[in-house]
Structures are given as structure tokens and as C-alpha cells.
Amino acid sequence: MRTRVTRVSWAWGARYHRGASSFPVPPPGAVDVAELLRDATAAEERPSAAPARRTPAQCSVLLFPGQGSQVVGMGRGLLGFPRVRELYDAARCVLGYDLLELSLHGPQEDLDRTVHCQPAIFVASLAAVEKLHHLQPEVIENCVAAAGFSVGEFAALVFAGAMEFSEGLYAVKVRAEAMQAASEAVPSGMLSVLGQPQSKFAFACLDAREHCRSLGIEDPVCKVSNYLFPHCRVISGHLEALQFLRQNASKYHFRRTKMLPVSGGFHTCLMQPAVEPLTQALKAIDIKQPLISVHANVDGNRYMHPQHIRKLLGQQLVSPVKWEQTMHALYERKRGTAFPRTWEVGPGQQLGSILRSCNLQAWKSYNYVDVLQADEDLGPEESPW
């Protein structure tokens, strides 16, 4: 029988169905925040409930970063907090290697490999939740929504109680291995493009594909794969297409271009070979209804039920990440209504920088959990994109 994971106490399943060894259980008396959330929700739904409803300013939203945010040393600032080492011990059982050692000491080129960095970001993000819960438990208890960028979506779903930690990590492992294999089949990558109102993203991608055809590349791929914030996109595809765009950036009114530290053209049809392995892994996982709203990368909307989660997580591999649209869906509210507190949990503060460009008022209530420093500081993002 599987034991349902909780968002903070991490009640691991006794054994994973693929044969991993037993996972540790949390210490007696660990706080079950999932139960607190269920109790709070039930109280709000009872007509006779005495406690006043939480105001928007009392609520919180958690954002989980994706691939590209990895950095050697991540996790160092988390190890002094309860149950973090148990997360890494459990990860070692699922992955078969010492993820903590790789995260702390690298080398960076090994950490950057898709097969390693996706599990590393997943575990570091959930470990950051542990730190946040220890220092400011009310943030976790009052969380009403979560979203994760690409692989961060798996961490958001585990946090929301839709998957057990071990099963979520196994799905990430399968996903990362399949994406790594697909990346090695075709030289491809991802190009971050900071544009302006007159930028011509679609036209640029069309020209880049034509350039690839002139080089003899059949069925070239070049398309927008991430919508980050207004006039900022990530374009994925064949390396020759991305090189063409960098060389002709001024023609398409691109202000700045930068290759991302990833191994392939993610979120395009180049990742089609990875869909089936992930789909099969998700079929074997006991996915539950999330306890809070979790927004999907594919369309920015909330996941509705377990089958919806299975479908969109597979579709996400070959679909653009609509993060800008997700930010609008998360923070849409009537004029004059306060924004929830937003916390970025995981390495880096890139999602905070994107939020600032999407919604400045929402960003004013933004904070992040430091995964590098061993002190107990939690602080706001101060640097712009």
C-alpha cells in the first residue's frame, strides 16, 4: 500500500514499484501541513465557521524553478533544516547516485547535464520548502496556489499532494533520461531572446527554418518554446537555426540573445521521443487531486483532475511553456485587491525577475528561499531581469 505524501512531513511510500529500497519515514510528530490545509479548507466551506476568511494579502503562492537555474553549491543553505537530508537520502535510492554530492561540489558540466540537473532542481526545490516551513510555517499553511517552470511543475505537484515524493522523482528521472537521449539525437538548443514591441518572432523562426533547409537539413525545427514576459521569448530548435538568429538579431529587432545552458531543443517536436517513456511512467504513478491550485505550463490554467495531470505533463514536453500566461492567470484580480505573498522555492531568483516584468505590483510581495547560504535569511529579490 502506498502512503500518501504530505507537503511538508514527506511520508514516503514504503517501497517504490520499480524496486527501489525502502525510504526513510519522517520523525514522530512531524507537522502534516496537508492535513492543516484540508482542515482550513473544510472550515471555510462550513456555513457556521467562525474564523474569518483569509485576506489575499495573508495568502501565499509558491513558484518552482526549472532547468537552467542549477548552480554548484545549491542545497548548502538547506542542510541544517529538518528532514532535508532525508530528501537527499531518498533521492539516492531512486536515482542510484549521490545527488547531494553532485549538487554541492559539481563539477558544473556534470550538473548541467539534463539527466542530472532536472532531479537536482526537483529535490533542491522541495528541500527549500522545508527551510521555508521551518522559518515561516504560515507561508506554507496559507498557500493557495503553485506553479512550476517545466520540470518545476513536478515539484509543484508533489508539494500540492498530487504525487508522492519518490514517485515524482522517479517520473523526473525518466523524463530527464528520455530528454537527454532525444537531445543527443539532434544537435539542438535553446536561445533566450529579449525583444521589443516590433520584434518579429514568428517571422524570424520561419527565416531560420528556411536557412536550415538551404544547408540540407530536413524538417528543421525553430519555434518559440517559452513565453517568459512581454517581448521576451525562448526559441528552441536546431543549432544552425539558433546561430542564424543570433547573427541576424538586428533584422528581427531583437535587443539581446543568449544561449541557455541546456542540452537540447526542449518543448518542441524534437522531444517527441521522450513523450512515450514519460507517459508510461506517469501511468504507473498514483496521482491524486492537488490540495491547492496548480497551474499547467501548457495553457496556464489549473489542473482539474489526475487524468488531466497525466495528459498535460506528457504534452508539456513538446509544447511551449506559457509562463507569462500562467502569471496572468495566477495574479488576475480586481483593481485595488491585494496580491498574495509569492515565494520562489529552489535555486536562483529567475522566476522573481520574470514576475517583476509580468506584474510589478505582484512582484512587490515577492520573496525567495536562499538554497546556497547556510544562514537563515529569507529575502526579497532586488535585481531586475
Which is nearest to 270 in space by CA: 212, 354, 325? 212
CA 338 – CA 58 distance, rounded (Å): 9
148: β partners: 64
Name the residue among 225, 192, 199 with its Cα closest to residue 323.
225
- Identify residue 226 by its one-letter amino acid code: N
C-alpha grid cell for residue 232? 521576451
How many Å apart are CA 81 and CA 125, to the nearest integer? 14
267 is catalytic: yes
Q: Cα–Cα distance between 86 and 22 in angstroms, integer? A: 12
Catalytic residue among 9, 103, 125, 150: 150
Phi/psi for 52 (5° steps) reads -70, 150
Confirm if 58 and 139 have CB atoms less than 8 A apart.
no
CB atoms near residue 44 (< 10 Å): 12
**Cα 94 from Cα 233, distance rounded (Å):** 34
- Amino acid type, 352: G
Tell me how long the chain is. Answer: 385
Q: Is 150 among the residues known to form the active site?
A: yes
269 SS3 class: helix
Q: Which of 347, 344, 261, 345 is nearest to 75 (CA)?
A: 347
**C-alpha span between 209 and 258 (Å, rounded):** 19
E-strand spans in the chain?
60-64, 143-148, 188-194, 222-229, 232-238, 256-259, 293-295, 321-322, 341-345, 366-369, 378-379
Question: What sign does the CA torsion over 104, 105, 111, 112 have?
Answer: positive
Question: Looking at 211, 231, 238, 267, which residue is catalytic?
Answer: 267
Catalytic residues: 150, 267
